[in-house]
Amino acid sequence: MLASVDVGTQSIDSYNTSAGVEVVEALRAQAEDLRGARVLHINATPYGGGVAEILRSQIPLLRDLGIQADWKLITGDEAFFRVTKTIHNGLQGASRELATTEQETYLTYSTRNAQLLEEPYDVIVVHDPQPLALLHFRGKNAARWIWRCHIDTSEPNPQVWGFLRPYLSDYDAAVFTLQDFVPPDCQVHRIEMIPPAIDPESPKNIEIAPEFARRLLRWIGVDVDRPLVTQVSRFDPWKDPLGVIESYRRVKQAIPKLQLALVGSMALDDPEGWDIYHQILEASRTDREIHIFTNLTGVGNIEVNAVQRLSQVVIQKSIREGFGLVISEALWKGTPVVAGRAGGIPMQMREGGGFLVASVEEAADRILWLLEHPEEARELGKRGRELVRRQFLLTRLIADELRLYASLLGV
């Protein structure tokens, strides 16, 4: 059997305050038609990265709404995950092609994982490219299959996309974050746009008292009396951590007391993370005010919450970005953001929230401006939060997904 991820329990009623009573009631009513439906979500890692973040919150709520939801993981060794990272990068446009042996590795593990998927389901949601070929090797049976793509596949490497595309053809639906991300010749019968969302009740996003947040930051070594800018993301070249360091260095010339925190998690399915981590350590070796934190050194959800809350500016200097949950996470805490004009980022900042940038220079200028204009910065953060409340909370994501399940099942 595929390994299941054990998640806690949660009541949808807990979202009355953050999302609104009407939203919660509407969701309950909507879920009635799907009561008892067996829904499986499959991905490649139980922690690290946006997909795991969403599933950890979504599965307990689906269950509370009467749906028999499960979350399972495919398995693979480092060779497999190196291949799937190459596929991930290729789908986002990297020029590196897949060697024949890499294609074989992908297909061998896909076959093996397909054999491990035993139980029957009504709806199977496959996240991202790692488990994509499961349907082909398992056979559809009575289930409806959805491919949920979280990355920017607007201009994929033709060879990598050409390899994967045939494995998509039997899917009943494909879900993207933006219309622009639908790759060329995507022949899935039904294509939907559903942007991701954050969980306002998770330890990462709940309201915490400022003094508690300050104590957490002190414990991890941040000087809470000096200005702080932060980027929270996997150590990944598309997130441009070295560009963040460069931007920070420019701003520091004007504000010598400035500190930078780079918070990066290591995901099970991302072996590239370690290479980037060592590059970052090297680039920051001479500056004690650059803090590099990882989930492996005790910087987990609650610390991320505190860092996002107490930073004067959150940076997300992505070059390519599927959605970037970290944008909504920062805005939900009222913190202004300076972010790359990439993928799903602009949609989260279209009513304020901060600035979109396209270079190190621009990022540095905007960060400096926000640091020097705290009142305007607060106002931008506040407007950003309001958009997140209306459009990027988990309740909206679940409503969109339930609509799709119901439509595919014809209920």
Residue 16 or 295: the one with the smaller Cβ distance to ligand UDP is 295
Lookup: tokens for 20: 């609104």
Residue 152 or 172: the one with the smaller Cβ distance to ligand UDP is 152
Residue 222 or 232: the one with the smaller Cβ distance to ligand UDP is 232
Residues in CB range of 59: below 8 A, 6 or more apart: 5, 7, 41, 69, 70, 71
Residue 312 pairs in a beta bridge with: none
Q: Which positions lie near ligand UDP, rule CB under 6 A?
A: 49-50, 53, 204, 232-234, 263-265, 295, 301, 304, 323-326, 329
- Find the shortest distance in angstroms from Cβ 157 to ligand UDP: 18
Three-class SS state of 168: helix
- Find the shortest distance in angstroms from Cβ 176 to ligand UDP: 14
Residue 39 pairs in a beta bridge with: 69, 123
Decide: 327 and 345 in contact? Cβ < 8 Å. yes
Q: What is the 3-state secondary structure (H, E, C) of 12-48?
A: HHHHHHHHCHHHHHHHHHHHHHHCCCEEEEEECCCCC
- Find the shortest distance in angstroms from Cβ 255 to ligand UDP: 25
- Find the shortest distance in angstroms from Cβ 316 to ligand UDP: 7
Instruction: Give the CB-nearest residue to ligand UDP.
Output: 50
- Find the shortest distance in angstroms from Cβ 148 to ligand UDP: 12
DSSP string for residues in 267-323: PTT-THHHHHHHHHHHHHTT-TTEEEEEGGGT--HHHHHHHHHH-SEEEE--SS-S-
Residue 114 or 340: the one with the smaller Cβ distance to ligand UDP is 340
Residue 72 or 85: the one with the smaller Cβ distance to ligand UDP is 85
Q: Which one-letter amino acid corresponds to residue 71?
A: W
- Find the shortest distance in angstroms from Cβ 33 to ligand UDP: 30
Residue 102 or 270: the one with the smaller Cβ distance to ligand UDP is 270
